[in-house]
Amino acid sequence: MESENNKPDRGNQRSRSKYDYVLVGKEYAGDSEHDRKQKAFIKALENKGYQTQKLREKNKVYFGIRAPQEIFSKYAHLLKNPDNCSEEEKVSTPTRIRIVKFMLDNTFIGNGEKLHALLKEKVFEAVFPLHEEREQKKLIKKWARWTACFKTQPINEVRMYFGEKVALYFLWLGWYTYMLVPAALIGVIVFLYGLAFFESNPLIKEVCEGNSTIMCPLCDKCPMWQLSETCTYAKVTHLFDNEGTVFFSMFMALWATWFLEIWKRHRSREVCKWKLNNWDENEEELALELINDPDCTQDRYQHSYLRSILVLVLVCCMIALIVGLAQALVVFRVIATVFLSASKWQLMSDHANTVAVMMGAVLHYLTITIMTKVNRKVALFLCDLEKTRSNTGRERNFTVKMFTFQFLTLFSSLIYVAFFLGRINGRPGSYVRIAGMWRLEECHPSGCITDLFIQMAIIMVLKQTLNNVVEFMSPWVNYKIHNLQDKSPKGGSESNCIRDSWLHNYHMNEVDAFSLFNEFLEMMIQYSFTTIFVAAFPLAPLLALINNFFEIRLDAIKMVSLERRMFCKKTNDIGIWLQVLHAIGVLAVIANGLVIGVTSDFIPRLVYKYIYGPCAKGATDIDCMSGYINNSLSTVYMKDHNIQRDFEPGQLIFNGNNVTQCKYKDYRSDDDYAYTSQFWLIFAARFAFVLLFEHVAVVIKFIAAWFVPDVPLAVKNENLDRKFERLKRELSPCSRAPEFLSPAGEQVLEPQLGDQLLLNCTVRVSYDQRFNNDASEKFLSSLLQVNVTEYSDYGHYSCLVRNTTAGFTLHRPGTASHIAGVIAAFVVVLILVLAVLLWVKCRLDVKLWYRNAYGDYEIYDGKICDAYVSYVNTVHDRKFVNFILKPHLENRYSYKLHLNDTDILPASEPSAELLMNVSRSRRLIVVLSKSYLEQDWCANNFREGFWRLMELSHKPIFIMYESEYREMSHPATLLLKKHKRDVTLLLWNSKSMTPSSEFWKELVLVMPRSVTYSSTMADPQTQLQDDKDPMLTLDPDYLHCRADPDPEGDLGIRVPIYKAPPPRVSALPCADLPSATPMAELRPSEIDISDLGSRSYAARTDFYCLVTDEDV
Domain spans of the chain, in order of start = 2-130, 147-289+311-486+508-617, 735-810, 816-855, 859-1011+1019-1024+1076-1107
Q: Is the pLDDT of residue 979 over 90?
A: no
Q: Where are the alpha helices (DSSP H) in 48-89?
A: 69-78
**What amino acid occupies position 166?**
V
Asked whether the beta carbons of 1071 and 1020 are under 8 A apart, the reply is no
pLDDT at 1037: 40
Over pLDDT 90: what percentage of the chain?
A: 15
Asked whether the beta carbons of 902 and 1111 are under 8 A apart, the reply is yes
Range name among 14-23, 648-657, 879-888 with the lowest pLDDT average = 14-23
pLDDT at 173: 94
Mean pLDDT of the chain: 78
pLDDT at 169: 94
Q: Strand order in 897-900's β-sheet?
A: 897-900, 865-870, 921-927, 957-961, 984-988
C-alpha to C-alpha distance for 529 and 527, rounded to whole angstroms: 5
Closest CA to 125 of 28, 20, 1: 28
Residues 530-542, mean pLDDT to the nearest whole number? 88
DSSP 369-408: HHHHHHHHHHHHHHHHHHT-SSHHHHHHHHHHHHHHHHHH
- Helix, strand, coil percent content, the chain, rounded in steps of 5: 55, 10, 35
Range name among 352-356, 645-649, 996-1000, 1049-1053 with the lowest pLDDT average = 1049-1053
- C-alpha distance from residue 918 to each of 562, 701, 1007 (Å): 96, 59, 15
Tell how strand 126-129 and strand 214-215 pair up. unpaired
pLDDT at 527: 93
Please provide residue 997's backbone torsions phi and psi, each rounded to the nearest 5 degrees: -75, 165
Which carries the bigger pLDDT value, residue 287 or residue 40? 40
Tell how strand 795-801 and strand 777-787 pair up. unpaired
C-alpha to C-alpha distance for 163 and 96, rounded to whole angstroms: 10
Q: Is the pLDDT of residue 521 over 70?
A: yes
DSSP assignment, residue 109? -
**What amino acid occupies position 96?**
R
Beta strands per DSSP E along 102-182: 126-129
Q: Which of the four pLDDT bands, split at 50, 70 and 90, describes residue 486?
A: low
C-alpha to C-alpha distance for 377 and 522, rounded to whole angstroms: 17
Q: What is the pLDDT of residues 673-700, one digit of tens each?
A: 899 999 999 999 999 999 998 888 888 8
Asked whether the beta carbons of 957 and 928 are under 8 A apart, the reply is no
Asked whether the beta carbons of 449 and 351 are under 8 A apart, the reply is no
pLDDT at 184: 92
Question: What fold does the segment set 735-810 form as a domain?
Answer: Immunoglobulin-like (2.60.40)
Q: Which of the four pLDDT bands, split at 50, 70 and 90, describes residue 1033?
A: very low
Q: Is the pLDDT of residue 1102 over 50?
A: no
Closest CA to 133 of 471, 478, 491, 487: 491
Tell how strand 984-988 and strand 957-961 pair up. parallel
Tell how strand 426-427 and strand 2-6 pair up. unpaired
Which SS3 state, helix, strand or coil, does residue 503 take? helix
DSSP assignment, residue 550? H
C-alpha to C-alpha distance for 750 and 767, rounded to whole angstroms: 36
Range name among 55-59, 66-70, 310-314, 344-348 with the lowest pLDDT average = 344-348
| HSE-up of residue 1108 (Cα within 13 Å, Cβ side) | 22
Please provide residue 837's backbone torsions phi and psi, each rounded to the nearest 5 degrees: -65, -45
C-alpha angle 520-524-529 in degrees, rounded to nearest 5: 150
Q: What is the pLDDT of residues 396-439, one digit of tens each?
A: 899 999 999 999 988 888 888 888 887 888 888 888 887 777 77
Contacts 24+ apart (CB under 8 A), 980-985: 982/950, 982/955, 983/955, 983/956, 983/957, 983/958, 984/955, 984/956, 984/957, 984/958, 985/958, 985/960
pLDDT at 128: 92
Q: Which of the four pLDDT bands, split at 50, 70 and 90, describes residue 368?
A: confident
Asked whether the beta carbons of 924 and 984 are under 8 A apart, the reply is no
Query: Which of 523-537, 922-936, 1058-1072 has maximum average pLDDT?
Result: 523-537
Asked whether the beta carbons of 612 and 638 are under 8 A apart, the reply is no
Query: What residues pair up with 986 in beta bridges, in sequence order?
Result: 959
**What amino acid occupies position 523?**
M
Residues 369-380, mean pLDDT to the nearest whole number? 90
* CATH of 859-1011+1019-1024+1076-1107 given 3.30.300.30, 2.40.160.10, 3.30.1490.20, 3.40.50.10140: 3.40.50.10140
Closest CA to 44 of 102, 105, 98, 107: 107
Beta strands per DSSP E along 577-722: 633-637, 653-654, 657-658, 661-665
Which carries the bigger pLDDT value, residue 777 or residue 577? 577
Range name among 635-649, 757-771, 1049-1063 with the lowest pLDDT average = 1049-1063
Q: Is the pLDDT of residue 275 over 80?
A: yes
C-alpha to C-alpha distance for 964 and 967, rounded to whole angstroms: 5
Residue 193, Ramachandran bin (φ over 0: left; ψ between -120 and 50: alpha; else beta): alpha
pLDDT at 901: 58
Closest CA to 354 of 420, 418, 444, 463: 444
Q: Is the pLDDT of residue 1086 over 60?
A: no
Asked whether the beta carbons of 532 and 517 are under 8 A apart, the reply is no
pLDDT at 1043: 45
CB within 8 A of 591, min separation 6: which ones?
A: 418, 532, 533
Beta strands per DSSP E along 975-1065: 984-988
Range name among 46-60, 343-357, 360-374 with the lowest pLDDT average = 343-357
Range name among 115-129, 130-144, 839-853 with the lowest pLDDT average = 839-853
**What amino acid occupies position 274?**
W
pLDDT at 1021: 58
Element (H, E) at 51: strand 51-57
DSSP 930-949: HHHHTSHHHHHHHHHHHHHH
pLDDT at 1062: 42
Which SS3 state, helix, strand or coil, does residue 110 take? coil
Which SS3 state, helix, strand or coil, does residue 759 take? strand
- C-alpha distance from residue 1006 to each of 33, 855, 926, 1050 (Å): 105, 11, 14, 21
DSSP assignment, residue 197? T
C-alpha to C-alpha distance for 567 and 516, rounded to whole angstroms: 9
C-alpha to C-alpha distance for 186 and 542, rounded to whole angstroms: 9
C-alpha angle 1084-1088-1094 in degrees, rounded to nearest 5: 115
